[in-house]
């Protein structure tokens, strides 16, 4: 089921639901990665179905500038920490008081920044994310801005080649996504280390795209690390990701 809800500034954002009858499953918000969508990250490869089969109601927004959500093309649509603001808007819209929060890549960055901004999930899952991906977020910003610039020229072997190919498969709105990427900032180490929500850091064994996942887990006081097969692009396609998330959330319900 798909519906819309108002994000920051009243921007219309898409919300996809999958799971037991509304109100009967434990709510879990799933945040997808950059230049992806709820469909690509969570539905296509079965993660949402696995969680739903284990009794969770999957609440899967398309981030602004992605998927079926609005894609503003003016700077006013991208204020500071807008994605964390959109998560807060979703929680308020649904009246959630007891829920889990899961993110992959940009979704993980958004999830922890949401907690730093005041969100209170019972459990937190950071997928495809490492220490440097949060503390040096401006580096990832610059990489993806360069990939957008190289959209028509990137060749095999170029650093941005695979990012460009992914953009082409998802048919992103490069103008809107560029504006969103330009809002990325570094997250202070002290803010990350102050997060006390029980946290799972789950990352592919060959994934170094966002830095060190072991370091991230070690520096968060209530975090544990699970390593699954794959790299940054392939780990999200494997059942191991959904199983790790479901095991972590279920063991603590």
The pLDDT mean for the chain works out to 95
What pLDDT shows up at residue 253?
44
* Range with the poorest average pLDDT among 15-24, 130-139, 231-240: 15-24
* Range with the poorest average pLDDT among 124-128, 157-161, 191-195, 206-210: 157-161
- What is the band of 112 on the pLDDT scale with cuts at 50, 70, 90? very high
HSE-CB at 89 with a 13 A cutoff on CA atoms is 21
| pTM: predicted TM-score of the whole model, two decimal places | 0.95
Backbone φ and ψ of 192, nearest 5°: -65, -45
Each residue of 16-30: b (16+ CB within 10 Å) or e? bbbbeeeeebbbbbb
Share of residues in the chain with pLDDT > 70 (%): 98
Quick: pLDDT tens for 34-78: 999 999 999 999 999 999 999 999 999 999 999 999 999 999 999
Domains annotated on the chain, with CATH:
2-138+187-250 (3.40.50.1820)
Closest CA to 109 of 185, 6, 223: 185
pLDDT at 114 over 80: yes
pLDDT at 22 over 90: no
What is the arithmetic mean of pLDDT over 93-108?
A: 97
């Amino acid at each position: 089921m798909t519906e819309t809800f108002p994000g920051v500034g009243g921007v219309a954002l898409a919300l996809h639901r999958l799971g037991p009858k509304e109100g009967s499953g434990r709510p879990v918000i799933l945040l997808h990665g950059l230049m992806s969508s709820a469909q690509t990250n969570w539905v296509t490869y079965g993660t949402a179905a696995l969680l739903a089969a284990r009794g969770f109601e999957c609440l899967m927004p398309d981030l602004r500038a992605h998927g079926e959500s609005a894609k503003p093309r003016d700077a006013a649509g991208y204020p500071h920490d807008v994605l964390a603001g959109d998560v807060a808007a979703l929680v308020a819209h649904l009246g959630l008081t007891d829920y889990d929060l899961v993110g992959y890549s940009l979704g993980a960055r958004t999830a922890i920044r949401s907690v730093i901004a005041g969100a209170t999930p019972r459990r937190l899952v950071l997928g495809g994310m490492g220490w440097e991906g949060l503390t040096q977020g401006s580096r990832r910003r610059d990489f993806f801005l360069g990939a957008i610039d190289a959209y028509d020229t990137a060749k095999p072997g170029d650093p941005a080649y695979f990012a460009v190919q992914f953009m082409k498969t998802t048919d992103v709105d490069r103008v809107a996504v560029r504006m969103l990427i330009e809002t990325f900032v570094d997250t202070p180490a002290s803010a990350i280390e102050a997060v006390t929500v029980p946290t799972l850091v789950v990352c592919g064994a060959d994934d170094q795209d966002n830095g060190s996942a072991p370091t991230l887990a070690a520096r968060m006081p209530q975090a544990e690390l699970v390593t699954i097969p794959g790299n940054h692009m392939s780990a999200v396609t494997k059942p191991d990701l959904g199983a790790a998330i479901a095991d972590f959330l279920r063991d603590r319900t």
